[in-house]
Amino acid sequence: MDYGGIPLWINRLLGEPSVLSLQGRIDPAWFRANNDQACPEQCDCPIHWPTSLYCDSRGLESLPQDLPQGTQYLFLQGNKISSLSYPVLANITGLRWLIIDNNQLESNELELASLQNQTQLRYFFANRNNLKSVPGGLPAGLEQLRLAYNRISSISPGAFQNLQKLTVLLLQGNRLQTITEGDLKGLVRLNLLDISGNYFSAVPSHLPPSVQQLYLSYNNFSGLDKGSFEGFLNLKHLRLSHCGLQSSSVHPQAFNHSGLVEVDLSYNELTTTPTVPTTLQYLYLEANSIQEFNVSSFCREVGPLSYSRMKILRLDGNKMAQHQLPPDWVHCLRVLQRIFI
């Protein structure tokens, strides 16, 4: 399981468990024999992490009963659970992680109170379920919400209104077509937003300006205009691979954002190198149809202090070879470390 494709950083000082599954690691009977807390028969309760409960990949169709009151990290991935029951979770007041990926959660089976009362909840992972909308009523302390690869086509009104601490939101692999002005209101600290693999035809206009990592790959964009990324204050990493982009539909100033560090435009239909800021360090253009390399795409002028800060440039899988590069490209890309062509 990839937990939405983004690594999960572990803080050992907080007692966070360093493994997300105990399957195949050690005899589960050893956990019960050496752990004096009540442990549901369907789960493992390791003495290493006394506040962790591993109930993953057990064929469960509902939440285990009589969960230990001190549970902070609950692993339920790989089951057949379709609902979150308030009475079962009500006994747990200090839950910090709830990981329920690869289940059968239904939007109409979510009891909002089951999550609203989890005031300590920081991570809620429900990737690869059957959700049709982003649930409302999530606890205000939530820091990561991972809902990738569901069937989400809408966002409940006010779903993010109180989630001012949320930094990671994964919605890739869903069925979103639009994001309206109020849909993401409240996400003032959002750092990473992944809406790849949805049904967008243009870059949504109403995204949180705080985003630093924006992943938009696998959408069918008609083009990029001058203002596509204007509203972002701190945008650094931008992924736009597999979007059907053509050079004629990408405005020359679409990437005019001096804060950008990395741009991925691989696997599109570009025929010329796009114009990017001189401060950009990583540009991925592999697997396009590029047959023209323009130095002006990287440097508006070339001089002692006027040059590109590009470190890595990928041009492999295009329709040009290195001997076709113009002779002055080395003066513009003078700090380049690797070029793939």
Compare 76 and 2 and report the one with higher pLDDT: 76
User: Which residues, 6+ apart, have CB-to-CB distance to 123 below 8 Å?
Assistant: 8, 96, 97, 98, 99, 142, 143, 144, 146
Rounded mean pLDDT, 230-238: 93
What domains can you pick out in the chain, each with its CATH number?
Answer: 235-341 (3.80.10.10)
Predicted local confidence at residue 2, as pLDDT = 74
Residues shown for the chain: 341
Per-residue confidence band for 113, with pLDDT thresholds at 50, 70 and 90 = confident
Rounded mean pLDDT, 115-124: 92
User: Which residues, 6+ apart, have CB-to-CB distance to 63 below 8 Å?
Assistant: 76, 81, 84, 85, 88, 89
Compare 35 and 311 and report the one with higher pLDDT: 311
Q: Which of 31-40, 151-160, 234-243 has the lowest mean pLDDT?
A: 31-40
| pLDDT above 70 for 109 | yes
Q: What is the pTM of this model?
A: 0.94
| pLDDT above 80 for 238 | yes
Compare 72 and 66 and report the one with higher pLDDT: 72
Rounded mean pLDDT, 295-322: 94
| pLDDT above 80 for 335 | yes
Compare 133 and 5 and report the one with higher pLDDT: 133
Predicted local confidence at residue 35, as pLDDT = 60
Predicted local confidence at residue 8, as pLDDT = 83
Predicted local confidence at residue 325, as pLDDT = 93
Burial class (CB in 10 A: 0-12, 13-18, 19+), 36: exposed
Predicted local confidence at residue 47, as pLDDT = 84
φ, ψ dihedrals at 193, nearest 5°: -130, 120
Render pLDDT for 169-221 as a digit per residue (tens, 0 to 9): 999 999 999 999 899 999 999 999 999 999 999 999 899 999 999 999 999 99
Render pLDDT for 12-66 as a digit per residue (tens, 0 to 9): 888 888 887 877 666 655 565 556 567 898 898 888 888 999 999 999 999 998 8
Predicted local confidence at residue 110, as pLDDT = 77
Predicted local confidence at residue 34, as pLDDT = 55
Percent of the chain past pLDDT 70, that is, above it, reads 95
Compare 228 and 22 and report the one with higher pLDDT: 228
Within its chain, how far is the Cα of 143 from the centroid? 13
Predicted local confidence at residue 25, as pLDDT = 66
